[in-house]
Amino acid sequence: MGDTEVLRQKLLEKVADLPEVRLQEILDFVDFLRARERENEDSILKVAGCLTGSPLSAEQIEEELYGEEPA
């Protein structure tokens, strides 16, 4: 068993006997940790999918934004 699996098993054993209120606190903390991890992701990776495809001209951007061709 790897280190990660050992840690997971220990964690499961320790929380198994906790009352429901404490389990909810642990769940809230885990959600907090996961949200913090997402915040720390490289911000360029968050928009990378938007950067694919062919470039748009200023007129095409105007049309996309406002639904009409510029005057």
Answer with the residue of higher pLDDT: 58 or 70. 58
- Name the strand (E) or helix (H) holding 35: helix 20-39
Residue 43 has pLDDT above 60, yes or no: yes
Average pLDDT along the chain: 83
Measured over the CA atoms of residue 20, residue 26, residue 30 and residue 35, the dihedral's sign is: positive
Residue 70 has pLDDT above 60, yes or no: no
Q: Which domain holds residue 57?
A: 19-71
Answer with the residue of higher pLDDT: 28 or 60. 28
Token pair, residue 2, equals 């790897």
CA distance 37 to 31: 10
CA distance 61 to 69: 9
Q: Is residue 5 part of a domain?
A: no
Q: Is residue 13 part of a domain?
A: no
pLDDT at 66: 84
Answer with the residue of higher pLDDT: 38 or 5. 5
Q: Is residue 51 part of a domain?
A: yes
CB atoms within 10 A of CB 14: 10
pTM for this model (two decimals): 0.49
The total number of structural domains in the chain stands at: 1
